[in-house]
Amino acid sequence: MTIRGETGRFGPFGGQYVAEVLMPVLGELEEAFAAAAEDNGFWDEYHRILREYVGRPNPLTFAANLTRLVGGCEIYLKREDLNHTGAHKINNTIGQVLLATRMGKRRVIAETGAGQHGVATATAAALFGCECAVFMGEEDVRRQAPNVERMRLLGAEVIPVTSGSRTLKDAMNEAMRHWVSHVENTFYVIGSAAGPHPYPVMVREFQRVIGDEIKAQSIERFGKFPDCVLACIGGGSNAIGAFASFLDDDVKLVAVEASGEGIETGRHAAAIAGGQVGVLHGQKSYLLQDANGQVLEAHSISAGLDYPGVGPQIAELARTGRIEVLTATDDDALKGFHLLTRTEGIIPALESSHALARAVDVAKTLPKEAKLVVNLSGRGDKDLATVLAFEMRGGEA
């Protein structure tokens, strides 16, 4: 794998828009990651942990009941929900914390929205014996109480963030501030394929195992690549992980953004469909912002998609038309949530439910024999309280 030479620029997107203090630190990280990426021993260790600890490869499940009900093409589920900790996030945190220890950093920090990345970071920290602090918006601490408890049980310090909108973007601001103040001994584990270079590249490489497995499993099962791979996008880590292996192949790639209460209401998290190009958290990409260039609060029923930006590579793939970008509202996601739960006995994360909602439509547009793979990025146990509260209030999130 050649990481060296990647500039972190994807067309007009990406870059390193950070304060001077961090520039040398990012340079060091870039070098350390490039060196690790060239070291087979590093990848052997990474894959050993994914196999023995995370439980990879996870299955590609044929959703027979759902396929029959929809009446379109064959729908398969990539079961990231079956990973240890219940989502795809662990793939990346194992990789980054392994890199941190290789760099001699024994303290890791992370931002988290839904709590899945926080839990995955706290888990990897426990496994590697690192100290861990997780920044989480106060609003998300309230919405995702079970994950807060999990992080604390794992030995992480959960730091509620009370600035701004008190959600994921503010947690990321606070994590960056903390990182700037503790650069000597602290490694910042970013959960999304976003942020300053080399993060978007690094997170993609630690998530590409999803697409690599989809590819191998498809060849084994169908004797060919799938016809379409579909994933939800917030920052875009599960999507870029599922897509990375297929970028040069004749495979339709579809990403689904969270349009919350509807793009026209202004209460949404669809950075590509409803944002403009801007700069936040070290990267240039699509961004929700007002007429003065102030960043807008995102809104989504799913805390994991509640982010006003999107990773730079996903942005470029959307700009060039390599991926198709659709949107799903809060209501659509709830329908997807219930649909999969009832038809297949699998409770999906609300994030993944956005993908499921649109997968149903896409399946109807493809030939019956076509194979559509939906990345089921996480399990939905963490969302039960949110779903019940939403439905009791008659749809008001």
* Residue 269 binds another protein (CB under 8 A): no
Answer for the pair 216, 226: CB distance below 8 angstroms, yes or no: no
Q: Which of 78, 80, 89, 245 is catalytic?
A: 89
* Residue 185 binds another protein (CB under 8 A): no
* Residue 19 binds another protein (CB under 8 A): yes
Residue type, 170: D
25 vs 356, which CB is nearer to another protein?
A: 25
Answer for the pair 272, 257: CB distance below 8 angstroms, yes or no: yes
* Residue 216 binds another protein (CB under 8 A): no
Stretch that binds another protein, among 100-108, 109-117, 199-207, 276-284 (CB under 8 A): 276-284
What number of chain residues touch another protein (CB under 8 A)? Answer: 37
Catalytic residue list contains 111: yes
Catalytic residue list contains 264: no
* Residue 163 binds another protein (CB under 8 A): yes
14 vs 348, which CB is nearer to another protein?
A: 14
Measured between alpha carbons, how far is 258 from 251 in angstroms, rounded to an integer? 23
19 vs 385, which CB is nearer to another protein?
A: 19
* Residue 173 binds another protein (CB under 8 A): yes
Measured between alpha carbons, how far is 53 from 301 in angstroms, rounded to an integer? 31
Stretch that binds another protein, among 92-100, 133-141, 229-237, 274-282 (CB under 8 A): 274-282
* Residue 5 binds another protein (CB under 8 A): no
Pick from 307, 238, 239, 312: which is nearest to 270 by CA? 307
CA distances from 195 to 8, 163, 169, 239, 387 (A): 10, 19, 11, 16, 30
Question: How many helices, marked H, and strands, marked E, lie in the chain?
Answer: 16, 14
Name which position in 1, 4, 11, 24 contacts another protein (CB under 8 A): 24
Measured between alpha carbons, how far is 47 from 149 in angstroms, rounded to an integer? 28
Least distance between another protein and beta carbon 277 (Å) = 8
Pick from 198, 163, 4: which is nearest to 187 by CA? 198
CA distances from 236 to 36, 295, 310 (A): 23, 19, 6
Q: Which 290-309 residues touch another protein, going by CB under 8 A?
A: 292-295
* Residue 12 binds another protein (CB under 8 A): no
Name which position in 49, 109, 272, 280 contacts another protein (CB under 8 A): 280
Catalytic residue list contains 157: no
3-state SS assignment for residue 182: coil
Pick from 287, 259, 274: which is nearest to 397 by CA? 259
Q: Which 109-148 residues touch another protein, going by CB under 8 A?
A: none
306 vs 383, which CB is nearer to another protein?
A: 306
Stretch that binds another protein, among 102-110, 113-121, 173-181, 363-371 (CB under 8 A): 173-181
Pick from 48, 136, 135, 49: which is nearest to 85 by CA? 49
Q: Which of 30, 111, 344, 351 is catalytic?
A: 111
Phi, psi of 52 (to 5 degrees): -85, -25
Give the list of residues 6+ apart from residue 371 with CB closer than 8 angstroms, or none. 73, 74, 76, 218, 222, 226, 227, 228
Name which position in 1, 23, 216, 388 contacts another protein (CB under 8 A): 23
Phi, psi of 253 (to 5 degrees): -115, 125
Measured between alpha carbons, how far is 191 from 235 in angstroms, rounded to an integer? 9
* Residue 169 binds another protein (CB under 8 A): yes
Tokens representing 385 are 């309280």
Least distance between another protein and beta carbon 20 (Å) = 4
* Residue 181 binds another protein (CB under 8 A): yes
Stretch that binds another protein, among 108-116, 287-295, 352-360, 381-389 (CB under 8 A): 287-295
Q: Which residues are part of the catalytic machinery?
A: 89, 111, 377
Binding site for another protein (CB under 8 A): 15-25, 163-164, 169-170, 172-173, 176-177, 180-181, 183-184, 276-282, 284, 287, 289, 292-295
